Structure 1
Amino acid sequence: MSDLRADLSLALRLADEADAITTARFRARDLVVERKPDRTPVTDADVAVEDAIRAVLAVDAPGDQVAGEERGGAVGAGRAWVVDPIDGTKNFLRGVPVWATLIALVVDGTPVVGVVSAPALGRRWWASTGSGAFTSDASGTRRIAVSGVSDLADAYLSTTHLGTWTQYHSREAYLALVDACWENRAFGDFWQHCLVAEGAIDVAAEPIVNPWDVAPFQVLVREAGGRFSDLTGAERFDGGNVLSTNGHLHRSALAILATRES
């Protein structure tokens, strides 16, 4: 536990470094935006954040692996830091304040520390294995927990972009889940999984993700009392898709997605 406390402290410091860069570049008139080979955007802030995090880790954790969205790297055995410098880059470059830096420490394939920092929202979420999940905002710091909703008919559901369900899974599958739930939104990206962890919504599903998009949420949602898996039910962050829930609704949500899969 003492080692994880030190690792969490380092992750929070990395988030501070990231926040200083992203807040300075958010809505900057000279923001540089380019398009990567997969047609997703990348800004000068994305690259600067990842480089700054890597520089700190090179000094404070020189033996650890680093895998980031912009500079690459793989997660193997042992310790690896997984970084998304700006999750929600499309929001960031359009001036929408819903974006965050995602930082996870993965040990032998399992995230054990996760930090999500969304400075434009004035929010941060973090967790480490065995120590619970927490958030901070203008009102202070508090421990968080998932909701107690036990019936999909009473559940609040979110995804990122409906179009990706057609491309990578089944739109009918997701719409069947929508019909089974009380309410649905597309909060998208990091925010929906944080909302699951703090009990504001009950289910978040994404048919296509990269490991750096979701690594912190495996430990955050779990420590908040929920469940986090890919769409087959395997508890992993690198399966290419993801479902996070309050735990009570996990099996029923998976069942609907599986039976309607194309």
Structure 2
Amino acid sequence: MSRDLTCALRLADTADAITRSRFRAGDLAVTRKPDRTPVTDADTAVEDAIRAVLAEEHPGDVVAGEERGGEVGAGRTWVLDPIDGTKNFLRGVPAWATLIALVVDGAPVVGVVSAPALGKRWWAARGAGAWVSDGGQERRIGVSGVGELGDAYLSTTHLGTWVEHHSRERYLALVDACWENRAFGDFWQHCLVAEGAIDLAAEPIVNPWDVAAVQVVVEEAGGRFTDLGGAARFDGGNALSSNGLLHDAALEVLRG
């Protein structure tokens, strides 16, 4: 295991200790950011704790996080989402995770997704495959072999976002082309793609910290991760992950 991946996993342990203690806490403090999205005291506490560790262990690295800001540039940048799925977290729904990615010269090379309330953690590093820990058992994961949209299982985060971003009609056309659909949402759907449990996950609006970590996981699991224009990037503002076999067909439907 690489030094950077080892560090990312320890950062996830730090995050889990905080999020576990604040999940379903009666005194959880919730505020709204200017874009009306919620933020809890756990979000800021996690990011601050991770930044403190990185400042000590990797003082030359840049950090970009959802709550405290920062930009991804040349060199090494740690990209953090302290709690992906904050709306779930504050309502007591267990589908949320801390996302930690190391991006080197614009390309994610390490990704960790830790979802302690689900009892799962996914991780990957370039060239080392994708892995999951589930109930204490670690195993390597890989995408499905489904080759036709008519047999595919599709997920998104929130149907309403397709109205404002991209096209709800094009997403519903993809729904109609697929066998089954759900809205597992956020990180979870991309990790399910990496595990081979579902075949496609599409999002019309994302931030870099939402998907930098999952890009590594999906690609190391043998899948494909792009924006809706087909570029393999985490900072394109939208995202499609797949088992690879269905990717071009799904992009074609979404483009109309």
TM-score bin (small chain): over 0.9
Q: Which secondary structure state, in structure 2, belongs to the residue aligned with residue 160 of structure 1?
A: coil
Query: C-alpha distance in 2, partners of 1:133/1:151?
Result: 24
Q: Which runs of 5+ in 1 are unaligned?
A: none
**Which runs of structure 1 show a deviation greater than 2 angstroms over 4 or more consecutive aligned residues?**
none
Q: Which secondary structure state, in structure 2, belongs to the residue aligned with residue 215 of structure 1?
A: helix
Query: C-alpha distance in 2, partners of 1:148/1:255?
Result: 20
Q: Partner of 2:128 in structure 1? A: 131
Partner amino acid for 1:222?
Answer: E
TM-score (norm 2): 0.99
Q: Partner of 2:235 in structure 1? A: 238
Query: C-alpha distance in 2, partners of 1:140/1:35?
Result: 38
* Counterpart mapping for 1:1-262 below 5 A: 5-138=2-135, 140-259=137-256
Query: C-alpha distance in 2, partners of 1:14/1:217?
Result: 16
Q: Which secondary structure state, in structure 2, belongs to the residue aligned with residue 174 of structure 1?
A: helix
Partner amino acid for 1:45?
Answer: A
TM-score (norm 1): 0.97
Superposition deviation, residue 253 in structure 1: 0.2
Query: C-alpha distance in 1, partners of 2:240/2:59?
Result: 33
Number of aligned residues: 256
Q: Which runs of 5+ in 2 are unaligned?
A: none
Superposition deviation, residue 43 in structure 1: 0.2
Superposition deviation, residue 217 in structure 1: 1.3
Superposition deviation, residue 218 in structure 1: 1.2
Q: Which secondary structure state, in structure 2, belongs to the residue aligned with residue 257 of structure 1?
A: helix
Superposition deviation, residue 139 in structure 1: 5.2
- Could you report, residue by residue, the CA deviation over 1:70-128 in whole angstroms, capped at 9, with x for unpaired residues? 00000000000000000000000000000000000000000000000000000000000
Once the two structures are overlaid, the 10-residue window that deviates more, 133-142 or 100-109, is 133-142
- Could you report, residue by residue, the CA deviation over 1:149-180 in whole angstroms, capped at 9, with x for unpaired residues? 00000000000000000101100000000000
Query: C-alpha distance in 2, partners of 1:198/1:168?
Result: 28
